[in-house]
Chains A and B, each alone.
Chain A
Amino acid sequence: MTPRRVALDGPADVAGWRSAARRLLAARVPPEAVIWSAGDGGDDLFAQTEPLPPVAPENGAVHVPRAFLDLAETALLHSDPGRFDLGYRLLTRVVARRHLIEDEADPDVARLRGLAKAVRRDKHKMTAFVRFREVATDNGPWFVAWFEPEHHIVEATAPFFVRRFAAMRWTILTPERSAHWDSQELSFSASASRSEAPAEDALEDVWRTYYASIFNPARLKVAAMRSEMPKKYWRNLPEASLIRPLIASAARVTAEMVDAPPPEPKKGQRLMAHNAPTVDRDTDALGRLRDAVDGCRACPLWEPATQAVFGEGPADAAVVVVGEQPGDKEDVAGRPFVGPAGALFDRAAVEAGLERRKVYVTNAVKHFKFEPRGKFRLHKTPAPGEIAACGRWLDQEISTIRPKLVVAMGATAARAVLGKAVKVGEARGHILRRADGAEVLVTVHPSYLLRLPDEARKRQEYARFVDDLRSALPYLDAA
Chain B
Amino acid sequence: MDIAAKLAILADAAKYDASCSSSGTEKRHSAGVKGGPARGIGSTEGAGICHSYAPDGRCISLLKILLTNACAFDCLYCVNRSSSNVARARFSVEEAVKLTLDFYRRNYIEGLFLSSGIIRSPDYTMEQVVRVAKALRVDHGFRGYIHLKTIPDASPELIAEAGLYADRLSINVELPSETSLKRLAPEKDLRAVRRSMGGLRSRIEEAKADKRAPRFAPAGQSTQMIIGADGSDDRAILGTSANLYGSYRLKRVYYSAFSPIPDASASLPLAAPPLMREHRLYQADWLMRFYGFSVGEITEAGGMLDLAVDPKLAWALRRRDRFPLDVQRASREELLRVPGLGKTVVDRILSARRFRALRVEDLRRMRAPVEKALPFIALADHRPSISLLDGPGLRERLAPRPRQMALAL
Q: Tell me how many residue pairs across A and B have CB atoms closer than 8 Å.
A: 285
A127, A332, A370, A376: residue with the most chain B Cβ atoms closer than 10 Å: A332
Q: Is B266 within 8 A of A207, CB to CB?
A: no
Q: Which residues on B sit within 8 Å (CB–CB) of A225? A: 53-57
Q: How far is the CB of B325 from chain A (nearest CB, A)?
A: 18
- B175-231 residues with Cβ-Cβ distance < 8 A to A are 178, 191, 194-195, 197-199, 201-202
Q: Is B351 within 8 A of A103, CB to CB?
A: yes
Q: Does B246 belong to the interface (CB within 8 Å)?
A: yes
Q: Does B304 belong to the interface (CB within 8 Å)?
A: no
How far apart sit A213 and B4, CA to CA, in the bound complex (Å)? 10
Contact with A along B350-368 (1 / 0, CB 8 A): 0110111010001101100
Q: Is A168 within 8 A of B41, CB to CB?
A: yes
**Binding site of B, secondary structure by majority: helix, strand, loop or mixed?**
loop
16 contacts between A and B (CB under 8 A): A102-B354, A104-B366, A105-B365, A128-B51, A131-B108, A134-B106, A164-B43, A167-B30, A167-B38, A209-B8, A214-B15, A222-B408, A262-B265, A266-B83, A273-B120, A332-B201
Q: Is A218 within 8 A of B249, CB to CB?
A: no
How far apart sit A239 and B108, CA to CA, in the bound complex (Å)? 10
Q: Is A214 within 8 A of B60, CB to CB?
A: yes
**Binding site of A, secondary structure by majority: helix, strand, loop or mixed?**
mixed
Q: Is A131 within 8 A of B107, CB to CB?
A: yes
- B270-326 residues with Cβ-Cβ distance < 8 A to A are 270-273, 275, 288-289
Q: How far is the CB of A409 from chain B (nearest CB, A)?
A: 24
* CB < 8 Å neighbour of B355 from A102, A167, A258: A102
Chain B residue at minimum C-beta to C-beta distance from A207: B108
Q: Is A271 within 8 A of B120, CB to CB?
A: yes
Contact with B along A141-153 (1 / 0, CB 8 A): 0010100000000
How far apart sit A168 and B257, CA to CA, in the bound complex (Å)? 41
Chain A residue at minimum C-beta to C-beta distance from B265: A262
Q: Is A377 within 8 A of B194, CB to CB?
A: no
Q: Is B64 within 8 A of A215, CB to CB?
A: no
* CB < 8 Å neighbour of A160 from B15, B45, B121, B349: B45
* CB < 8 Å neighbour of A266 from B84, B123, B194, B405: B84
Q: Is A221 within 8 A of B55, CB to CB?
A: yes
Q: Is A183 within 8 A of B38, CB to CB?
A: yes
* CB < 8 Å neighbour of A272 from B72, B195, B362: B72
Q: Does A19 belong to the interface (CB within 8 Å)?
A: no
Q: Does A314 belong to the interface (CB within 8 Å)?
A: no
Q: Is A263 within 8 A of B85, CB to CB?
A: yes
Q: Is B178 within 8 A of A377, CB to CB?
A: no
Chain A residue at minimum C-beta to C-beta distance from B365: A110
How far apart sit A273 and B74, CA to CA, in the bound complex (Å)? 15
- A429-462 residues with Cβ-Cβ distance < 8 A to B are none
Tell whether A220 pairs with B121 under 8 Å between CB atoms, given A128-B49, A260-B264.
no
How far apart sit A303 and B240, CA to CA, in the bound complex (Å)? 10
Tell whether A244 pairs with B51 under 8 Å between CB atoms, given A130-B107, A209-B8, A373-B246.
no
A132, A206, A239: residue with the most chain B Cβ atoms closer than 10 Å: A206
Q: Is A247 within 8 A of B351, CB to CB?
A: no
